[in-house]
Structure 1
Amino acid sequence: MSANTPINLDIDVAALGRVAVLFGGRSAERPVSLMSGNGVLAALTSVGVDAHAFDPAEQPLQALKDQGFDRAFIALHGRGGEDGTLQGALEWLGVPYTGSGVTASGVAMDKTMTKRLWANEGLPTPQYLALSRAELTRERVRTIPDELGLPVVVKPPHEGSSIGITKAAGYSEMQGAVELALGFDDELLFEQCIDGPELTCAVLGEGAAAVAMPLIEIRAEAGNYDFANKYETDTTQYVFGSLPAALEAEIQQLVLKAYRLLGCRGWGRADLMLRKADMKPFLLEMNTSPGMTSHSLVPKAAQAVGIDYPQLCLWLLSQARLDRQ
């Protein structure tokens, strides 16, 4: 273990009790969640945790109490797992859980609301428009590039893993991008495209004690970090140390402000763009239940500071709690 490990890894495994690893679920991100959850389950078992698989799509949450689980590791992604609804159910059941609480989870899952909060506090985020299905007539869609410029990033704001996202390079691509995104959401987020490197920054902890992990620059094929380049190929490059140290430290402090503003706890991962014209960072979103697959970024960042995958899972589990605690 590296001497610069930023968290305490001295954990009493026996005190963690009987643990449910929640994964699968019914969201569009179910396939990713299955990969994350199986990885977490294997890691926790390997270090002696009494951990068991639990798929909320296959059994009711009440079974967590009926089966005597003491805490839950949330490895669900997307709706029903990352949006505050599951967290609220676990609060009601009294089962401590990993990650952010009800409010922070709900806000962070809504990319539009997240941007509104950040912008209101003066944190940099790309210019955007949020429009409902009823507002998205063909005439209105044609005007969006005039307001935001091209390309335009079209997103369903309540999905993750780049599901339903299109970077529309011209007016002719806008309608198709809208139709794709409307398959996942009834309100769409249209975002100014920032030209420059894509970055991600993981955070561990809560409040003043939260720490930002090393930045990772994502270099995807053709600059398109889509679902395939995230999970299905090995061509994407993940680069540490690509920025000057002072700029990296500045971005880490920005991410900590964004994380604390949303009230996040346990862990999270901010995605950003760095405008190459002036090296200004722009916040895109905050993930409160990040991926834990073999391609995922939080484990990569943790490894860079001497925390291996099982240690990371064990520490996250040790931080499980309820809002009222």
Structure 2
Amino acid sequence: MSDRFVAVLAGGLTHERDVSLRSGRRLSAALRTAGITVEEWDADSSLMSRLHERRPDAVVIALHGDQGEGGSIQTVLELVGVPFVGADSHACRRAWDKPTAKAELARAGLATPDWVVLPQSTFRELGAQAVLAAMVDRLGLPMMLKPDQSGSALGAQLVRHATELPAAMVDCLAYGNTVLAERFVAGAEVAVAVIEDEDGPVALPAVEIVPESGVYDYTARYTAGLTDFHTPARLTSAAATAVAELAVAAHRLLGLRDVSRTDAIVAEDGTVYFLEANSSPGLTETSLLPMAIEAAGKSLGDIYAALVERAIARARSSAPSP
């Protein structure tokens, strides 16, 4: 039995609260099998007093949405000096903002579908019909719409016909004030997890995602039986290498740490397109990171126990000398 005490943060006040609680429960159970003492804490008004009164050796963040992926909870943990698994607050913000992440990878020469970003006010002030028509001229159809900052595909809409665009835009903007419109790329959708060890970031086997509806939206992600998964993904050896290299490159370019997941499309011509990066991957029974860990012949508890030790060692090495 380890003498480590770890707090798993889950819940929070976002649209993804239920998913977060499920991730937290599974992670906590996995850490306990690795011999670690674990408590599950909600990210609420009691958190600050808990961090001071029962200071954990480390925190593992199982929060989703802006609170867990946008850098805010990481900033709080940095302020109080509690070690935590995962990227620091600045890297979380880069990855959480999808246009920023896409631009970062595009500058590095990596492929990502063409995109435009517009706030809700633009459609209101300049006329929605004209702006939507210009988007279609630029990106073509089908087109993907996403909030610029969101998780679990909340608000994501696949638009096949121009007549669907106004309603899809309304649905998308229900989850944020700014929309990311992206050229749709047909191909195999994959997710590639990256775990850091003493040798640096390593890509796990890619998970191929085949949703029954054709769109990997919130329902398809978290309802058992609505999506088929193939791990490892059914890719050529060249494509499997390319998606692994993309995931490691995204992890490094965005400054991520410990664990991340990159979502990508392998187009019919073999080109690999970056879609987005996740600094706090889900850990539910239908989530992709646990599938990749299992395919790699590893256990969730052992992986996260090792990441806890990395976080503690990192904090010690950065502490000022007495």
- TM-score (normalizing by structure 1): 0.91
For residue 243 of structure 2, give the secondary structure of its aligned residue in structure 1.
helix
Aligned to 1:67: 54
Aligned to 1:5: none
Aligned to 2:255: 263
- TM-score (normalizing by structure 2): 0.92
Change (3 A) 1:151 1:207: farther
Aligned to 1:4: none
C-alpha deviation, 1:31, in angstroms: 1.1
2: CA distance between counterparts of 1:207 and 1:259?
16
Aligned to 2:31: 44
CA contact (8 A) 1:22 1:72 kept: yes
Matches within 5 A, 1:237-256: 237-239=228-230, 240-256=232-248
C-alpha deviation, 1:140, in angstroms: 0.8
Aligned to 1:212: 203
CA contact (8 A) 1:20 1:64 kept: no
Matches within 5 A, 1:1-325: 13-14=2-3, 17-57=4-44, 59-136=46-123, 137-138=127-128, 139-205=130-196, 209-239=200-230, 240-276=232-268, 278-321=269-312, 325=318
Report the aligned-residue RMSD: 1.8
Q: Which runs of 4+ in 1 moved over 4 A?
A: 321-324
C-alpha deviation, 1:208, in angstroms: 6.4
Kindly indicate whether structure 1 or structure 2 has the higher relative contact order, using CA contacts under 8 Å at least 6 residues apart: 1
1: CA distance between counterparts of 2:256 and 2:277?
9
2: CA distance between counterparts of 1:61 and 1:172?
49
C-alpha deviation, 1:241, in angstroms: 4.4
2: CA distance between counterparts of 1:144 and 1:271?
24
2: CA distance between counterparts of 1:319 and 1:27?
29
Return the letter of the residue paired with 1:44: L
For residue 205 of structure 1, give the secondary structure of its aligned residue in structure 2.
strand
C-alpha deviation, 1:121, in angstroms: 1.4
2: CA distance between counterparts of 1:264 and 1:253?
15
For residue 282 of structure 1, give the secondary structure of its aligned residue in structure 2.
strand
Total equivalences in the alignment: 311
C-alpha deviation, 1:224, in angstroms: 1.4
2: CA distance between counterparts of 1:57 and 1:173?
39
CA-to-aligned-CA distance 1:124-165 (integer Å, 9 cap, x gap): 100000001111231212321111010110100211101011
Change (3 A) 1:127 1:206: farther
Aligned to 1:8: none
Q: Which range is displaced more, 213-222 or 240-249?
A: 240-249
Return the letter of the residue paired with 1:318: E
CA contact (8 A) 1:110 1:157 kept: yes
Percent same amino acid at aligned positions?
33
C-alpha deviation, 1:13, in angstroms: 2.9
C-alpha deviation, 1:206, in angstroms: 6.9
Change (3 A) 1:206 1:144: farther
C-alpha deviation, 1:81, in angstroms: 1.2
C-alpha deviation, 1:170, in angstroms: 1.1
C-alpha deviation, 1:201, in angstroms: 0.5
CA-to-aligned-CA distance 1:156-179 (integer Å, 9 cap, x gap): 021110101100111111111111
Return the letter of the residue paired with 1:215: A
CA contact (8 A) 1:108 1:286 kept: yes
Return the letter of the residue paired with 1:131: L
CA contact (8 A) 1:142 1:174 kept: no
2: CA distance between counterparts of 1:303 and 1:315?
16
For residue 222 of structure 1, give the secondary structure of its aligned residue in structure 2.
coil
